Amino acid sequence: MKEDVRETLPVKASFFDMIKSLHQKQETVHVLYDENGITRTNGIVTQLCEEDDHSYFVLDNGTQVYINTLVAVNGIFAADYSEC
């Protein structure tokens, strides 16, 4: 029997660093974030703003996502997310 495995964000890594790298490479991001329920979106990061605890990014479809609401980026989940 094969066990389900979920890849999680390494201890010293951050979603901000992942988003920053994907923004620089202009690669598509696929994200899950918690905005009064889990929301899924994807696109190219067009803007990245670092503001203390309120860092966010904007996708080419106009969606603004706060880093602290991210649950997963490109299939890598926050270690403390336990819903799946």
Per-residue pLDDT tens over the stretch 34-72: 999 999 999 999 999 998 778 999 999 999 999 999 999
Q: What is the pTM of this model?
A: 0.85
Helices then strands, each counted (H, E), the chain: 1, 6
| Second CATH level (architecture) for the domain 15-77 | Roll (2.30)
Quick one: pLDDT at residue 83? 63
Pairing, β 64-66 against β 28-34: unpaired
Please check the confidence at residue 24 and state whether its pLDDT lies above 90: yes
Task: Give the pLDDT mean for 20-25.
Answer: 97
What is the distance of C-alpha 66 from the center of its chain?
A: 9
Cβ neighbours of 32 (radius 10 Å): 20
